[in-house]
Chains A and B, each alone.
Chain A
Amino acid sequence: MRYGFLDEDAKKEIRRATLKAIAIPGYQVSFASRELPIARGWGTGGLQMTLAIINEEDCLKVIDQGCDGSVNAVNIRNFIVSVTDNQTTLDTLEADIIQSRHRIPEEPMREGQTLVLQVPYPEVLTNVEADSYRQKVMHANSDYAKLWVLLYEDTAQFGDSRIGHRYPVMVHDRYAMDPSPIPKYDTQKLNNNKALILLGAGREKKIYAIPPYTKVEPLKFEDKEFKVESFADKKCTRCGASGVFMDEVHTNDGEVKYYCNDTAYCDKNLEGKL
């Protein structure tokens, strides 16, 4: 089998689409999206991007819902290693490429790193406009009126937007973008990040990107603060960390405990290496 599973033409196409995406931050570039031995909707977009950019020296980390050890992360990591023979790590700072689903690591990323996010719905306008041709025209005109109306109606009824995750962001003051289903807590990390952030949607056949040091702001009314998930008074039961995104765990005797969602961070904290 070829290095990185994909044939050279596929890798070339994905790299070219990725370069275009980096050149136009937040803009969705179409690509053919190859069929993989892993199901659509299980991270095939991120996987194709990782396979297209990875080289022999790269050290890889794979996260699923904050955890390197969960089934899908393990499966994807095993697949990539079986077709590339790359080194892998659990340490955010050690990795050159981090493929992730639903989370941006707690530890700040550095220059030269690439975060590949798996994306189920790349189109931020889908909920307000289902027709992809009209979506394209709206993006071209930077016409996000329908998104603002949705935001307004939610705020009028519920005091805030009903969007819990994949909160729409404005990239470099030009394109509204779906940041993949990360919590709002992570949305803020997109802004001015030192790492290159690539987003790949295999089923929807779209690639987009946020280059390092790019302005990314959540869509928000000026007089409304952007409220993120808060675990202010909570401490990780395992490592004692606070001020991080937590998993709420209900034990069998009805107790509620909190744990760091980013398990690699939790391990590192426990070992005193942070």
Chain B
Amino acid sequence: MGFVAIKGGEEAIRNSLAFYEEEINLSQKIDPLAIENTLRYGVDKVMSEGSLYSKKLSAQAILKAGGDLLNASFFLRAHRSSCARAGIAKTICTDEMRVVRRISSAFKDIKGGQILGPSSDYEVKLILKKAVDKTVWDDYKNDDIFVESALKPLRDANMIKTLPKDEKISDITRVFPSAPYPRSAVMQIMARGESGSMLAFAYTSMRGYGDVHPTIGDLRLGRSEVRFTHPFTKNEVKIGEIDITACEAAATFEKQSDGSTKLTTGFGCCFGFNETKAISMSILDTTLYNKSHTIGQGGIADNFEMIVHHIDGIESQGFTNHYKLPHYVTFQADLQVYENAKKYSNQEEKK
């Protein structure tokens, strides 16, 4: 076993990078436009976690990372950090989305109807090649569809618990909040959180470490206008459209401080078409802001510290991978402490 101090890093890094380039060389031959126009869910996931809305850069990042989506998000996030901040756009109202898919599992009959839209939910997951159906689109109208949230009737009837609005919207990329965390900050942290982490945390609450059984009140995919106040004219202008996914979950009811009983809900919203992420986010929003009714320990998913500090894929990936760096100074120190402790216990035994 030869263990020598790792020196000569300069050349080693160069060689390693060259080797890596070779490894992912073929992916560099793919036209990024082909990625952008074909692998939309990969592109959307990277945009969402990289927290920068650019399909073009997202596709480039996927190629640059050889298809490693978390790494691609990292490229995008670092690029975003170097972009100048123009300001904060007007809050999007999801009722004003141009909807391509919208379902509710809470209500059978909703205003605007269930719109199945593009979905792989009912796809039989066989990897075999199948003949493409020549679909005949019955009654298909190419009109823009705008529908109000399926929960609106309940909201109008004052049945739903509302949370106080933050007076000032946080910007977690400029000031990271300390506990207790403003809601706008928590929502931002989740909106760019890693889909898999959010799914895992949300799942804990569904299957034993909490008591949330959410019902999807309104899940929608579609396009939304981004509106911004022009810095010179001060007029509100449309600066573009983005694909987003939004989900409102309804959970249990709860007694309010004014004595009334209200239904609790949670909200999730993210860039691109990411249904599982939006649903997970809406569940976490529910668990965080509504007390668990389970007797005993608090849940994992209702702990702000747990969610705020562990949901970001780029941060957890970076830290996990840092263990690949040499640690022989700290391990050397640990070993000496261990040797001393061993000596001590041996002496104790002899006594």
Residues of A within 8 A of B (CB): 1, 5, 7, 9, 13, 30-37, 39-42, 44, 64-67, 69-75, 78, 101-103, 120, 130-133, 136, 158-166, 181-185, 203, 205, 227, 229-230, 245-252, 259, 261, 263
Residues of A within 8 A of B120 (CB): none
Of A1, A165, A252, chain B has the most CB atoms within 10 Å of the CB of A165
Interface size of B by Cβ–Cβ distance < 8 Å? 56
Residues of A within 8 A of B326 (CB): 64-65, 70
- Name the 5 nearest CB pairs between A and B, nearest first: A159-B344, A40-B318, A39-B318, A41-B319, A164-B334
Q: Which residue of B lies closest to A227 (CB)?
A: B340
Give the contacting residue for A75; candidates B13, B175, B328; CB below 8 A.
Answer: B13
The answer to whether B319 touches A120, judged by C-beta atoms less than 8 angstroms apart, is: yes
The answer to whether A252 touches B178, judged by C-beta atoms less than 8 angstroms apart, is: no
The answer to whether A70 touches B7, judged by C-beta atoms less than 8 angstroms apart, is: yes
Between A and B, 10 residue pairs with Cβ closer than 8 Å are A32-B176, A42-B318, A42-B321, A65-B325, A69-B7, A70-B5, A74-B13, A203-B319, A261-B329, A263-B5
Residues of B within 8 A of A136 (CB): 178-179
Additional A-B contact list (16), CB under 8 Å, known A5-B82, A158-B344: A30-B176, A35-B314, A40-B318, A64-B325, A72-B325, A74-B13, A102-B330, A132-B179, A159-B345, A162-B341, A164-B336, A165-B329, A203-B319, A246-B332, A249-B3, A263-B5
Tell me whether B39 is interfacial, beta carbon within 8 Å: no
Residues of B within 8 A of A (CB): 1-10, 12-13, 74, 77-78, 80-82, 84, 172-176, 178-180, 305, 309, 314-315, 317-322, 325-330, 332-338, 340-341, 343-345, 348
Residues of A within 8 A of B319 (CB): 40-41, 120, 203
The answer to whether B9 touches A205, judged by C-beta atoms less than 8 angstroms apart, is: no
Given A35-B80, A263-B7, also A65-B176 (CB < 8 A): no
In Å, the complex CA distance between A263 and B329 comes to 13
Given A40-B319, A41-B322, also A34-B332 (CB < 8 A): no
In Å, the complex CA distance between A30 and B321 comes to 24
